[in-house]
A and B are shown apart, each in its own frame.
Chain A
Amino acid sequence: MESLGIDVKLLIAQIINFALFFYIFRKFIAKPFSSFLNVEKKKEEEKEKVLSDLKKKEENMILQEQKAKEKIKREYELAVKNAKADAVSVREEMLQEAKKDSEQLVERGKKQIDEERITMQKDLKTKVVDLSLVIVNRALSDFLTEDMQKKINERILKNLAKDVK
């Protein structure tokens, strides 16, 4: 062995040294490190699990949000449709009412115009009659002489006598 250049003592010492190193490494470094790695691995798995759960929940929430949005949209469209229908019916009612009012106004106006026309005609007639009588009276005052007045008196008496008979 010595001819090969190997020192047996040193070899044994190195073996013992290695064994000691192996024992100490295994006892005080490899185990805690391994358990630390395991713990980290477990934590990582839990994180993954939580993340996947969260992802699922997020997907669910997005789905629910979409559904809710669709529902709101449907309700909104329905409400708009109903409001439009109501507005149309209200507009129709208002138009009918306005038409009715305008017709009544026109009718009332026509009636008033007729009444005013009749009143004016009556007034005009009265004025014409009054004026005519004034003119006749004036004309008679100027025209009738005493002789004519006498003749009228005679005629009145004559007619009276006829009526009595």
Chain B
Amino acid sequence: MAIDPDIKEELKNILEEKNIAKKQLAMVVSSYKLSDAELDNIKKSFPILKKYFLFNRVDNKIQAGFIIKFDSKVVDLTLRSQLNNFKKITYEVDR
């Protein structure tokens, strides 16, 4: 029985997220597939990630930048989040 590719991908993602919790894994979500050098660069920039193994996932919606997820923490350095922050600031200025 063939599994739907979308469901397969989703299951894979869920499994990876579970593994993050079990093993010392950290997920880096980016808009394109990151090279090993780029992942190393990220690791160097965040000393806390030294003990984690990084793996990459692609999400086109984030425009540019990346999100790092490890343990229960999320570091969002995407263009999308910057735009959302800008939106919030605009609303706050109104009040």
Residues on A facing B (Cβ under 8 Å): 122, 125-126, 129-130, 133, 136-137, 140-141, 144, 146, 148-150, 152-154, 156-157, 160-161, 164
- Check if A153 sits within 8 Å of B45, measured CB to CB: no
- Check if B87 sits within 8 Å of A140, measured CB to CB: no
- Check if A129 sits within 8 Å of B63, measured CB to CB: no
Cβ contacts under 8 Å, B66 to chain A: 153, 156
- Asked if A156 meets B77 with Cβ closer than 8 Å, knowing A126-B91, A129-B87, A146-B32, the reply is yes
A122, A137, A157 interface centre (most CB from chain B within 10 Å): A157
B38, B45, B63, B90: the one within 8 Å of A161 (CB): B45
Encoded as 1 (CB less than 8 Å from any A CB) or 0, chain B from 22 to 52 comes to 0000000011101000100110010000000
Encoded as 1 (CB less than 8 Å from any A CB) or 0, chain B from 79 to 95 comes to 11001001100110010
A137 and B80 CA atoms in complex are apart in Å by: 8
14 contacts between A and B (CB under 8 A): A122-B94, A125-B90, A126-B91, A133-B86, A137-B83, A140-B79, A141-B60, A144-B31, A150-B32, A152-B65, A153-B30, A153-B64, A160-B45, A160-B77
- Asked if A129 meets B91 with Cβ closer than 8 Å, knowing A157-B41, A157-B45, the reply is yes
- Check if B94 sits within 8 Å of A156, measured CB to CB: no
- Check if A148 sits within 8 Å of B41, measured CB to CB: no
- Check if A144 sits within 8 Å of B45, measured CB to CB: no
Cβ contacts under 8 Å, A161 to chain B: 45
The interface on chain B, measured as residues whose beta carbon lies within 8 A of the other chain's beta carbons, has a size of 22
A115 and B94 CA atoms in complex are apart in Å by: 14
- Asked if A129 meets B90 with Cβ closer than 8 Å, knowing A137-B83, A146-B32, the reply is yes
- Asked if A153 meets B38 with Cβ closer than 8 Å, knowing A137-B80, A161-B45, the reply is yes
B31, B42, B77, B80: the one within 8 Å of A149 (CB): B31
Cβ contacts under 8 Å, A125 to chain B: 90, 94
A133, A157, A160: the one within 8 Å of B83 (CB): A133
Chain B residue nearest in CB terms to A126: B91
- Check if B65 sits within 8 Å of A153, measured CB to CB: yes
- Check if A137 sits within 8 Å of B38, measured CB to CB: no
A125 and B64 CA atoms in complex are apart in Å by: 26
- Check if A149 sits within 8 Å of B64, measured CB to CB: yes
Cβ contacts under 8 Å, A150 to chain B: 32, 38
Cβ contacts under 8 Å, B64 to chain A: 140, 144, 148-149, 152-153
